[in-house]
Structure 1
């Protein structure tokens, strides 16, 4: 029971979608695609190699699948359907192509630090069946794609209203800004690592560009990307009141809010900042002083003391 407990919130999310009038059919189709995707390129490789890092391939390509399903099955205003489908595809491709490159270079075949940290968590919780724990963790991310992470796309693509709301404009602008910032942060980090390799310097702290203002600008930008999708979803969620029962409508609204909470928890605690810093503090001598100068997640002014 302790092993499968992390699945419960996502099973609830799937149940909510299945009880909707608007999304039951598209959820079954999308969910089936996600399960096939995760089964073949995540769960099976994990079983064969005992390496959880294959999740990094399945999760972003799952977003691409959500985008494609939305494009083909969305029944709302065409510009809205194509727009949200394109956003999901861009999100998935940005990370998915990088994951494939990592796999080709052999990095995925080795356990990435954030997934090595999971083993420490499992040990603390008394989970001794590592294979079962890995499969459940991978299923959690797959079911997240099936349920909550697909929800903004489905809600937005269901809205037939041709009028564009201010929420949609603001949300789209925030999405574009966040997408650009995340790409810049990744490029700055990659450039820093390449320069350190060229100069034969090891275990240095990346404190350039956006990394001067938050220790994880890429994670923060990823979180704001999902928040922007929630903002874009607001008018379409309000429009669902006429087609969904009150309880389902309220649950859909709460599920949208849960997307933000879930992604924050993931990007800070589960596979993001905390696991990353656990190893950085051990590996990089100057990292501790870096943590005193720069905020971990939310950007802020540097403390020069």
Structure 2
């Protein structure tokens, strides 16, 4: 069985298990934890089945698992202590029939397919036999930049939320002074780094759409716009923060 079909089958199994856990827990937000875990599963399967350059395979495995497992742990803490995500509540309010069937189709099948598609640089890179060169190492450096932004951004946000005096305020210090979404920016940069590692040899360059899709979702679909609509409605100072702070790429704040 090919790397792609094996990863597709494993993700399908993971989505079924996650759906069962969500039904038992009474909240579909648990899939946010499975999102990071799924990429780690894909990386491990592709590592075992890929047969490409050993160094590239190890790098892709370690970098993908570090990102995926850290994200799963970070989101797991949030999911464990909270209720349903408003995104899923709004989605399920439109269910034409069975909410469970609609949830499985619109949340689990959709996210599973996106996961397999976005991870194509990892899957293809694991099969590439050419040695890693300067472009691959540039990808590793880019991944490190993204990982720092995402990890530090999440840590700063978690500290801010845990402070009782931050209620109703806007986080505008640390990395959040230079971009309204350092964690989303870091996430996108991570996947561009993984793409460069895979793109060094044919056919890795064909996976260009994968980081583009991830960046598109973060910028225009599930990430930035949904969060900013909610914050604009609940944080009085958010409009001024938007005016002076870059929406994605870190830049010096406007006066």
Q: TM-score, normalised by structure 2?
A: 0.90
SS at match of 1:268: helix
Q: CA RMSD in A?
A: 2.1
Q: Please give the alpha-carbon distance, in whole angstroms, between the structure 1 residues aligned to 2:215 and 2:90.
A: 18
Q: Residue 3 of structure 2 corresponds to which residue in structure 1?
A: 26
Counting only pairs closer than 5 Å after superposition, residues 137-216 of structure 1 correspond to structure 2 as 137-146=107-116, 148-161=117-130, 163-195=131-163, 197=164, 199=165, 201-216=166-181
* Deviation of 1:192 (Å): 1.6
Query: Relative to structure 1, is the Cα distance of residues 298 and 228 closer, same or farther in structure 2, using a 3 angstrom cutoff?
Result: same
Greater CA radius of gyration, 1 or 2?
A: 1
The runs of 5 or more residues in structure 2 that have no matched partner are: none
* The one of 217, 239, 244 aligned to 1:293: 244
Q: Please give the alpha-carbon distance, in whole angstroms, between the structure 2 residues aligned to 1:262 and 1:170.
A: 21
Q: TM-score, normalised by structure 1?
A: 0.76
SS at match of 1:138: helix
Q: Please give the alpha-carbon distance, in whole angstroms, between the structure 1 residues aligned to 2:153 and 2:134.
A: 28
Q: Is the 8 A contact 1:50 1:131 kept in 2?
A: no
* Deviation of 1:232 (Å): 1.4
* Deviation of 1:154 (Å): 1.8
Number of paired residues? 253
* Deviation of 1:131 (Å): 4.1
Residue 194 of structure 2 is aligned to residue 224 of structure 1: no
Q: Please give the alpha-carbon distance, in whole angstroms, between the structure 2 residues aligned to 1:229 and 1:154.
A: 11
Q: Is the 8 A contact 1:117 1:275 kept in 2?
A: no
Q: Is the 8 A contact 1:294 1:302 kept in 2?
A: yes
Q: Is the 8 A contact 2:46 2:126 kept in 1?
A: yes
SS at match of 2:200: helix
Residue 78 of structure 2 is aligned to residue 102 of structure 1: yes
Residue 67 of structure 2 is aligned to residue 91 of structure 1: yes
4+ residue stretches of structure 1 with deviation over 3 A?
45-52, 113-119, 127-133
Q: Is the 8 A contact 2:198 2:205 kept in 1?
A: no
